Amino acid sequence: MKKLFIFGLLALGMLALSSCNDDNDELTDSRLTYYADLQLQGDEFMLLPVGSTFVDPGCTGTLAGEDITSKIKIDGADEVDPNTLGFYYITYSAEGSDGYPASVERTVCVYDPTITLEIGGSYDVDMNASMYQKARTYADRAAYYGNTSQCTDIVFEKIVPGIYYVSDIFGGWYEQIRGYGSRYAMTAYVSVDNDGNIGLLSSYIAGWGDSVDYLDNGKFDNGVISYDLCYAGQIYMDLVLNRVE
């Protein structure tokens, strides 16, 4: 009788364990998560001649086979100014079945197709004419930091007529003279008109995550680019760059 009682207890224990396992199996069951599938209509990089009318091509979306185009949130489309040169960014976003976000972005470039002046190419910094803090030349400051090399390969790359990407609008100050590396080159986009006047559209330095405060007196003349800039509210640079033929 005692043996039968013990065997009964063991059977009940095994049944209990089996029930626990079944519960655990239910806890490990998962359901599918669906993400919004967004599809840009039109071009991802959109060119818009200055003065023309901007019409957003829009974006479509589906979620688990269902059309959610009407639920897509659009940010930035109202900020596109067809009368002002530059880059504008439109973001389209929607949430998935569990609230996970999805987004796509369009860049609108407003440019002037009548610009024929070409300033693209590689430039060397005029180390004796360029000034740091309006007090000492680039050559003097470079020598102070033990770097006597020439700041070279400042590239102006044409994107569209009148708009150029600049590899380092600091003229190599932090990347080359101070030796901080490529993350401390201040990349930029600038505009130029047919009279050679240069303006700053945007800038960004990856190392610090910020941009130039302003750029003044930008000019291109016979293969020479010059401009003054301010950074971080207290650093002033007057640059003179000579195009390498």
Report yes or no on 22 lying in a domain: no
Distance of CA 118 to the CA centre of its chain: 25
- Tell me, what's the pLDDT at 114? 97
Mark out the alpha helices in the chain (DSSP H runs): 2-28, 138-144
Q: How far apart are CA 37 and CA 60, in angstroms?
A: 8
- Tell me, what's the pLDDT at 41? 97
Query: Do 231 and 143 share a domain, yes or no?
Result: yes
- 2 has a pLDDT exceeding 90: no
Q: How far apart are CA 151 and CA 170, in angstroms?
A: 10
Do residues 127 and 142 make contact, with C-beta atoms less than 8 angstroms apart?
Answer: yes
Query: Do 130 and 239 share a domain, yes or no?
Result: yes
- Tell me, what's the pLDDT at 78? 96
- Tell me, what's the pLDDT at 217? 98
Q: How far apart are CA 85 and CA 182, in angstroms?
A: 28
- Tell me, what's the pLDDT at 9? 38
Mark which of 81, 111, 141 sits at the end of a domain: 111
Average pLDDT over residues 197-210: 97
The two most distant CA atoms of the chain are separated, in Å, by: 111
Query: Do 54 and 128 share a domain, yes or no?
Result: no
- Tell me, what's the pLDDT at 141? 87
Q: How far apart are CA 198 and CA 175, in angstroms?
A: 23
Mark which of 62, 89, 111 sits at the end of a domain: 111
Average pLDDT over residues 44-68: 96
Query: Do 95 and 146 share a domain, yes or no?
Result: no
Query: Do 78 and 157 share a domain, yes or no?
Result: no
Burial of 15 (C-beta count, 10 Å sphere; 0-12/13-18/19+): exposed
Do residues 227 and 188 make contact, with C-beta atoms less than 8 angstroms apart?
Answer: no
Pairing of strands 73-75, 86-95: antiparallel
Q: How far apart are CA 101 and CA 157, in angstroms?
A: 35
In the chain, the DSSP E strands lie at 37-40, 45-49, 59-63, 66-67, 73-75, 86-95, 101-111, 121-125, 131-132, 136-137, 154-160, 163-166, 187-192, 197-204, 212-221, 224-231, 235-243
Rounded to two decimals, the pTM is 0.81
Query: Across all residues in the chain, what is the average pLDDT?
Result: 89
- Tell me, what's the pLDDT at 18? 45
Mark which of 55, 87, 111 sits at the end of a domain: 111
Do residues 139 and 129 make contact, with C-beta atoms less than 8 angstroms apart?
Answer: no
- How many domains is the chain built from? 2
Report yes or no on 8 lying in a domain: no
Give the domain range for residue 132: 121-243
Smallest Cα–Cα separation from 174: which of 165, 183, 184?
184
Average pLDDT over residues 149-154: 88
Q: How far apart are CA 219 and CA 205, in angstroms?
A: 22
Q: HSE-up of 188 (CA within 13 Å, CB side)?
A: 24
More confident residue, 44 or 27: 44
Query: Do 125 and 235 share a domain, yes or no?
Result: yes
Query: Do 238 and 125 share a domain, yes or no?
Result: yes
Model confidence at 109, in pLDDT bands (50, 70, 90)?
very high
Domain of 150, CATH number, reads 2.40.128
What does the pLDDT look like over 208-240, one tens digit per residue? Answer: 999 999 999 999 999 999 999 999 999 999 999
